[in-house]
A and B are shown apart, each in its own frame.
Chain A
């Protein structure tokens, strides 16, 4: 198969994508604009296909010279600054971050200070979101719930992308046996649906705190990012300036660090941003199912779960945490979308 044909095939290669696994839906969205990986991978689906093409889309044209690095990110920033679809989610993110780490700025009550006599009172002027079953002020609880969602989302993706970038670079750069081993390990985890896998891992871990939920999700999401990084490295590796650096006697590490990473990392960052949103959604789903965080943790998923039985009588119990959850997820997906557009040189 000619290189061009292979590229063409890669361009249309889909990713396996368990339907309920919001996580992998995110993969698709991340790459959906750019199915043009240049990677030389094993096969269209299982064997290490590029999951999103965001990667290649950026890298394919991104690196004609090392100088381009600076301008790729510089151009991206200049474009983002003017894009309302970036500014709005960026401001929302600032707001959510404040809420997560300084909730007292927004709510002066104590989320655990509850009075059963207030149980499921509807929203009122003093208590905008009403009260939950335990008689806790719902507004305060919803605000305090931000912490868990945002922390799990950020920690999980931070660690998963670190693993993914490391393994993906090694895999793509060295190829051969290491590549095959890493690819197969990723394939194995890929074959396990996220929700089901997370349930089983959490069941196995026994305790289900913030750390365990993050760990379970991290284990399940790194393979996709690893594949993305790998294909991205593969395409950057072929660039002339990498050959030039090699000819000048640069070490592998130096080539990776100064040439391949800066140019190859853009798609992973786009994807990681979207994944934060999706991890947040999955965390809420797990808590909702009763297999994630447990009371007395304050989590939107748990709140929605508690609202389930009273959905008709007290819709506010569902409404407020659901809106916060959706807006937070939306924030990250929009951010990722804006980033991808900004980092795509074809659109400049």
Chain B
């Protein structure tokens, strides 16, 4: 979708913000949905960490488990049908899965905030945007309505909504798509959260607006030093902003590494497929190679490596043995038995 050049070397990117400790540790997270048709294994034991000031992109097709894993962190999985069967989600060392709902609620929104794909449906149509932002202060800070409204205007200005004071009493449908997403961002940032999770924040927007929203998120992140998780199916959109990337497939992490490395030279065939299906300015004349086959059925995930039915590097071992996350380099992992071949670009194409 987005035509991007290869992002800048990560050295500059991570130097931008000094680390202030580990914010989030997700360990062996497993989420399943029990439906009348069978159990959907949406997330199958993923682990990752997020530090302050860091931007992590979680990349995958729909059904890869990227959104579900984020909702699990937020505690938005409806149960039933959703169940977190294994794992831990530690926020500043505290496992969110073991604490009381009331404690959990004090984390939600205040410490970890989230914005969603479609800001129009994600904002309540019958309340003014000002009220919806102010509600954060009224509920969590016991602030009187008038002061909370003032805060709302400040926040709206901060996220770049023009003439915020006049627009504070307008309703969501009166804003454009980009402005609505800014409202969502303002609401999410109102209580200075440590972590912001953005679930496909720009997918519903025009390409030009997409870039503006990404810039805004990037600027706000550098300003506050929060940890940012960007969930996306389009690496092109987040490549400039993200430091690290996690590639998910069938509810598992298949590759992780710095954005630069993964983008420039993937170590997993699926990541490679994703990269080859993005039009790139630096590879003019190269044919686009969409990934063959269709995403796996999460009720019947293939044996061995879940990607094997679609994989150009497949060998017999892939059907029987599930690959562990091999260490490719210090900060890089790939769940492919033949990651070396992938790095070398030796696909055994028919």
Contact = CB atoms under 8 A, between A and B. Distances in A.
A4 interface: yes
A2 interface: yes
Interface string A1-37: 0101100100000000000000000000000000000
B120 interface: yes
Contacts of B125: 8
A5 B175 CA distance: 12
B280 interface: no
Contacts of B120: 4
A4 B173 CA distance: 9
Contacts of A8: 125
A87 to B, nearest CB: 19
Interface in B102-152: 120, 125
Nearest to A1: B173
Q: How large is the interface on B (under 10, 10 to 19, 20 to 34, 35 or more residues)?
A: under 10
A2 B177 CA distance: 13
A8 B126 CA distance: 11
A4 B123 CA distance: 14
Contacts of A5: 173
Contacts of A2: 173
A11 to B, nearest CB: 11
**What is the predominant secondary structure among interface residues of chain A facing chain B?**
helix
Nearest to B121: A4
Contacts of A4: 120, 173
A4 B125 CA distance: 11
A2 B120 CA distance: 12
Contacts of B173: 2, 4-5
Nearest to A2: B173
A2 B125 CA distance: 13
Nearest to A8: B125
B121 to A, nearest CB: 9
B310 to A, nearest CB: 26
A5 B173 CA distance: 8
A100 B233 CA distance: 62
Interface in A255-314: none
A5 B120 CA distance: 10
B268 to A, nearest CB: 34
A152 B125 CA distance: 46
Interface in B165-215: 173
A8 B120 CA distance: 12
B127 to A, nearest CB: 14
A306 B65 CA distance: 68
A8 B123 CA distance: 14
A320 to B, nearest CB: 41
Interface in A193-236: none
Interface string A229-260: 00000000000000000000000000000000
A2 B180 CA distance: 15
Nearest to B171: A5
Nearest to B120: A4
Interface in B282-313: none
A4 B120 CA distance: 10
A8 B173 CA distance: 11
B124 to A, nearest CB: 12
A5 B172 CA distance: 11
A70 B44 CA distance: 37
Interface string A46-79: 0000000000000000000000000000000000
B311 to A, nearest CB: 31
A8 to B, nearest CB: 7
B205 to A, nearest CB: 15
Nearest to B125: A8
A8 B121 CA distance: 11
A134 B120 CA distance: 69
B128 to A, nearest CB: 15
A279 B334 CA distance: 68
A8 B125 CA distance: 10
Interface string B37-65: 00000000000000000000000000000
A4 B177 CA distance: 13
B343 to A, nearest CB: 42
A2 B173 CA distance: 8
Nearest to B173: A5
A26 to B, nearest CB: 30
B220 to A, nearest CB: 28
A136 to B, nearest CB: 52
A5 to B, nearest CB: 5
A31 B173 CA distance: 27
A342 to B, nearest CB: 15
A75 to B, nearest CB: 14
A7 to B, nearest CB: 11
B60 to A, nearest CB: 25
B120 to A, nearest CB: 7
A183 B211 CA distance: 47
A251 to B, nearest CB: 38
5 contacts: A2-B173, A4-B120, A4-B173, A5-B173, A8-B125
Interface of A: 2, 4-5, 8
A-B pairs with the 4 shortest C-beta distances? Answer: A5-B173, A2-B173, A8-B125, A4-B120
